[in-house]
Amino acid sequence: MPDVWLTRNLTMGLFNAAQETTYERYSSPIGTEWAYGTLANYSSLTYTNWEGWNGHNPPSMVGKDAVLHLISDDIYLSIKFTVWGGRGGAFSYERSTPIPEPSAALLTVLGLAMARYGAGCALLAAYLAGEAGPKLPLVFAAMRDKDVGGMFLALLPAVCALFVTQASNPRTTDLDVLAHHARMVAPNLSVTIEPSLDEALDAAWRISRRIVVAGSIFLVGDVIKRIGG
């Protein structure tokens, strides 16, 4: 389990799901410090807690270069938030991270902790639709109690391919069920069943150095663990 797993609920700020269950002002995410600036200058930056860093105004951090300090491991990462959706739990960011394939790539983490809610999916889809360049591939898993059809209605028009996989939770939806819903919503979209998350990620990375991960907080956590976050 990673020491830092950034997520959020429907409202409020980020918290560290590896050590917390909800957001606490001026302390969450536990185990992190934040500063505006670039990784090249990490040693000269002034770090503070997440809320103090963004001036009690999370939307203000979007689009700005910053450095995240993972305190327990003494690791510094460049990070840039690309979406902060307010209510609905939506957020996304890009960060520097070593990953096996492709090396030195940036993984755009667009998994939504509350992706079962229409607002979260709509915000993610709007962000993807506004991205310059070609559409990105989506790696997707969801729990059985989620409205998969509604999630796909929002998300699939904004991606170039779909890889359905399983999260490490016994409630994860059967792959055939996911594929069926996807093909009903987007019959012309490439839909691939990959029971192994590693294979799903590798297949998506072969299409693009940036991928989308969405559908379940458990899936996002699995991906973060896989890339060493």
Task: Give the length of the chain.
Answer: 229
Looking at residue 7, its pLDDT comes to 84
Whether residue 108 is found in the same domain as residue 218: yes
pLDDT digits (tens, 9 = 90+) for 79-123: 999 888 765 677 888 887 533 333 333 344 443 334 444 556 777
Residues 36 and 129 in one domain: no
Stretch among 18-22, 159-163, 181-185, 191-195 having the lowest mean pLDDT: 18-22
**CATH code assigned at 191:** 3.90.190.20
Shared domain check, 129 and 158: yes
Considering the domain architecture, whether residues 116 and 188 belong to the same structural domain is answered as yes
Same domain, yes or no, for 92 and 194? no
> Is 108 found in the same domain as 80?
no
Tell whether 227 and 152 lie within a shared domain. Answer: yes
In degrees and rounded to multiples of 5, residue 219 shows phi and psi of -65, -45
The pLDDT score that the predictor gives to residue 105 is 34
226 and 145 together in one domain: yes
Same domain? For 81 and 170 the reply is no
Q: Which domain holds residue 178?
A: 102-229
The residue behind tokens 């755009």 is 108
| DSSP per position, 24-88 | -TTTPSTTEEEEES-GGGGGG---B-HHHHTTT-GGGGBT--EEEEETTTTEEEEEEEEEE-STT
In angstroms, the Cα distances linking 191 to 140, 154, 171 are: 11, 16, 21
Amino acid 87: pLDDT: 59
C-alpha–C-alpha distance, residues 88 and 102, integer Å: 32
57 and 112 together in one domain: no
Same domain, 129 and 216: yes
Q: Which of 96, 118, 144 is the last residue in one of the domains?
A: 96
How many structural domains does the chain have?
A: 2
What is the structure's pLDDT at 156? 93
Q: Is the pLDDT of residue 139 over 90?
A: yes
- What are the pLDDT digits (tens) for 21-58? 889 999 999 999 999 998 888 889 999 999 999 999 99
In this structure, the answer to whether residues 74 and 26 fall within a common structural domain is yes
